[in-house]
Structure 1
Amino acid sequence: MSETTGLAQSRVPSRLDWVDTAKGFCIILVVLMHVVVGFEVAQERESWIDPFIDWAKLFRMPGFFLLSGLFASRLIGKSWPDFLDRKVAPFVYFYLLWLAIHCLLKFQTWGQGDAATLFGSYTLGLVQPFGLLWFIYLLAVFFVVTKAARGYPVASWLIAAALATVPVTTGWLLVDRFAGYYVFFLSGALFAPTIFRFADWVRDHRAAALRLGLGWAAASAFLISLGGYEALHETFGADLVLGHAGALGIVALSVVLAGRLGWVAYCGRNSLPVYLGFFIPMALTRVLLIKAEMPFDVGAASLLLTVLCVALPLALHRLVRGTALAFLFERPRWFRLRSAGNDRAEPTEPMPVFEPEDGAASELNARAGR
């Protein structure tokens, strides 16, 4: 029997619905950004949607990583074999599988019939995260580093924050993205109780939270209008401050809208299949539109293609469930490091946090530890 990954779990009620909604917003923004960039590069022109894409960069990936960090506490406290099997091995499996799929689909472009080049591309992807798959690769690294440094929460967060204050451009994606985003994952893990209390405050003070959110949106949009995302990105400390503010903005918006946008929450619960599969319809549709040589508005086409690129992987995920193709989105039993029976006997110890856990944190930890 296959193990379904934690990013495609069944619905959980009440207080944590906002987590699925927040992940849904983030994954939709990820798809939209890639669709827009792909169109603009291919067409060599810009679009009216660019200012929104620049604005969303302030919080899209910081929010995604902060949300991923919220699930770390209980699993970080498990033994290394149990931890690696539950949290790291699934990411390794999906990265290796979908790296092979990416390489095969681009074989004619890269290898021109040369199998050695194809193998070399795959091998390079083991040390240099490949294209769209870098997020899966980095999540595995983030979990391992967080467990290794679990006894030094203050020092590890300060180091991560220092790395995020200035752009790191070594040319190695693993190093550059780790420096830029690890602090947000760690903030989610270490400050989870505070984030839950913030979510509870938003739920109890919706009007005040809405005013606060609109103020943040206006201020961040104004900053973007001054020089674009790149100018802010190169400003000392801007990524660190605006990334956390934006991630909390996503949390606040998701708390307010939780239960009202079921399709967004569904995308969040199944964000992994969307992330893994959206590039296929994106690439095929883009090629067809461009080869048709028909005039089209890049912004409008991007919005329509984003809907398609989110819907098709979700449909494929449902279609292959319980079939021989389920391995595309589910980790097979043979890729487990430990038997399921041994997991229940392991004592757990929560990760040190800066504040005591409250009820919401305990609820999320219980969900994460399943």
Structure 2
Amino acid sequence: MLTTDWGPSRREWMDVLRGLAVIMVVVTHTVRLVQYYDEPVPVLPMIVNILTPLRMPLLFLLSGMLVPRSLAKGTWGYLKGKLSKVLYPYVLWTIILAFLTAFSVSVFVFPDLLHLLFVESATPLWFLGYLLLYYLIALLCRWVHPLIIAVAAVGLSMLPIDGEWARFWYQAVAFFIGVALGPFITGFEKFLTNRALCAVLFVGALAAMTIQTLVGESAQGVIWKVAVTLAFFVGAAGLVMPIAGSRAFRPIRYIGERTIKVYILHWPFIVYPLIWLTTNTDLALRWLIPITFLVGIVPPIIITVLADRYRAVEWFFEWNPRPRLGRAPLKDEERSQSKS
């Protein structure tokens, strides 16, 4: 059974990294969707191509690091949290986005709509579906070391199977590396105090992705991708850790604490306002991208704040949320539970 030396304190650097990963997702989707209507400044697609292979593995790795603490609650407590805070919003928002997608792309045949959402991954909710399955597989970590599962995932991702197979198991590698790292968080943080090494890893990872983007080789091997992701994660963690608690990072920490809510909401707030703007206005591209980005990040944060305060709003993201009347700021333990 996994044990952890986590202790009672929060890891604000993890919140910052998760918040930055969500912002990277919003930036990526903003630029790529705007590309359907006009060609942005060439540097923007290049930046997106550099960030794309890093953002989702980073989210999965950070989620995996919290698994040992969640498993300590017992099997039922662990499953209850995942069903309430991952499965429930996944199903609910798939239904909501199904209706919105049906009207926006004129797909009204139910099987076609299911294919669009689940097979073609027409919305980013695949993240929640993967996350839920990883959490279920993580129950095996009571008996099997998570690194063994990660190695098995590397092998499975290399099988020549079409569809979501390769992506599912590749992202699983990052998740279970995170599970393996979680019990050793204190020792890992001591390692992160080597700022020079972290800076080298961070710059090296970005340089590797930049070269890969410029050369046009996007289909590198799984082991290479995992190595670059780990270098990026360790480097970013070491650089962020000393400043993560500063006031300047408070909005990013908040996004990191409420990852699932902001992640779910960013998509409809990007897609449908963008459709309206491009259909009904002649807005210049230099304004279209920043406006779309702001609409994709600010309203989701506002709704997330409302969900923190009002149970009726929280029902859109969690099954049977705790009663709240002007909910006070979360304590450390409650925050960690809200992300588990």
Q: TM-score, normalised by structure 1?
A: 0.75
Distance 1:292 1:218, change over 3 A: same
Partner in structure 2 of residue 187 of structure 1: 177
Q: Which residue of 2 aligns with 1:274?
A: 262
Structure 2 CA distance for aligned equivalents of residues 225 and 31 of structure 1 = 23
Deviation at 1:196, TM superposition (A): 4.4
1:63–1:247 contact (8 Å) kept in structure 2: yes
Mapping 1:169-318, distance limit 5 Å:
170-171=162-163, 173=164, 175-194=165-184, 196-202=186-192, 204-227=193-216, 231-235=217-221, 237-260=223-246, 261-292=249-280, 294=282, 296-297=284-285, 301-318=288-305
Q: Using a 3 Å threshold, how does the CA distance of structure 1 residues 23 and 39 change in structure 2: closer, same or farther?
A: same
Report the Cα distance in structure 2 between the residues aligned to 1:270 and 1:280, rounded to whole angstroms: 17
Q: CA deviation at 1:287?
A: 1.5
Residue in 2 that maps onto 1:330: 318
Closer/same/farther in 2, CA of residues 72 and 288 from structure 1, 3 Å limit = same
Residues 222 and 198 from structure 1, CA distance in 2 versus in 1: closer, same or farther, beyond 3 angstroms? farther
Matched, 1:157 2:139: no
Deviation at 1:267, TM superposition (A): 1.2
Give the C-alpha shift of residue 57 in structure 1: 2.0
Distance 1:44 1:196, change over 3 A: same
RMSD (Å), alpha carbons: 3.4
2:326 alignment counterpart = none
Distance 1:123 1:106 in 2: 12
Q: What is the alpha-carbon distance in structure 2 between the residues aligned to residue 197 and residue 33 of structure 1?
A: 33
Task: Tell me what 1:9 maps to.
Answer: none
Deviation at 1:90, TM superposition (A): 2.2
Q: Could you tell me whether the CA contact under 8 Å between 1:232 and 1:239 is conserved in 2?
A: no
More relative contact order in 1 or in 2 (CA 8 Å, sep 6+)? 1
1:23 Cα deviation (Å)?
A: 0.6
What number of residue pairs does the alignment pair up?
A: 320
Report the CA distance between 1:93 and its aligned residue. 0.3
| Aligned equivalents of 1:45, 1:197: Cα separation in 2 | 44
Q: Check 1:21–1:97 CA distance in 2 against 1; reply closer, same or farther (3 A cut).
A: same
C-alpha deviations, 1:254-282, integer Å up to 9, x for none? 31430231111111112211111112221
Equivalent in the alignment of 1:43:
38
Within 2, Cα distance between the matches of 1:15 and 1:77? 17
Indicate if the aligned counterparts of 1:69 and 1:186 stay in contact, CA closer than 8 A: yes
* Corresponding residue number in structure 2 for 1:28: 23
Which amino acid in 2 is paired with 1:151? W
Q: Aligned with 1:234: secondary structure?
A: coil
Q: Percent identity?
A: 22
Q: Which residue of 2 aligns with 1:137?
A: 129
TM-score by length of 2: 0.80
> Which residue number corresponds to residue 148 of structure 1?
140
Q: Which runs of 5 or more structure 1 residues have no equivalent in the other structure? A: 1-11, 335-362
Stretches of structure 2 that go unaligned for 5 or more consecutive residues are 1-6, 323-331
1:235 Cα offset (Å)? 3.7
Letter of the structure 2 residue corresponding to residue 158 of structure 1: V
Change (3 A) 1:69 1:236: closer
- Asked whether the 8 Å contact 1:72–1:368 carries over to 2, the reply is no
Equivalent residues of 1:232, 1:238 under 8 A apart = no
| Structure 1 Cα separation of the partners of residues 62 and 162 of structure 2 | 27
Q: 1:156 to 1:59 in 2, by over 3 A?
A: same
* Cα distance, 1:234–1:218 mapped onto 2, change above 3 Å: closer
Closer, same or farther in 2 for the Cα pair 1:126/1:36, shift >3 Å?
closer
Paired residue type of 1:139? L
Deviation at 1:292, TM superposition (A): 4.1
Q: Secondary structure at the match of 1:99?
A: helix
CA contact (8 A) 1:277 1:313 kept: yes
Q: 1:115-130 counterparts in 2 under 5 A?
A: 117-118=109-110, 121-122=113-114
> Helix, strand or coil: the match of 2:284?
coil
Q: Which moved further from structure 2: 254-263 or 180-189?
A: 254-263
1:108 corresponds in structure 2 to 103
Distance 2:235 2:288 in 1: 28
Q: Give 1:351-370 correspondences, 5 Å limit.
A: 367-368=336-337
Distance in 1, Cα, partners of 2:51 & 2:294: 17
One-letter amino acid of the counterpart of residue 181, structure 2: F
Specify the SS of the correspondent of 2:11.
helix
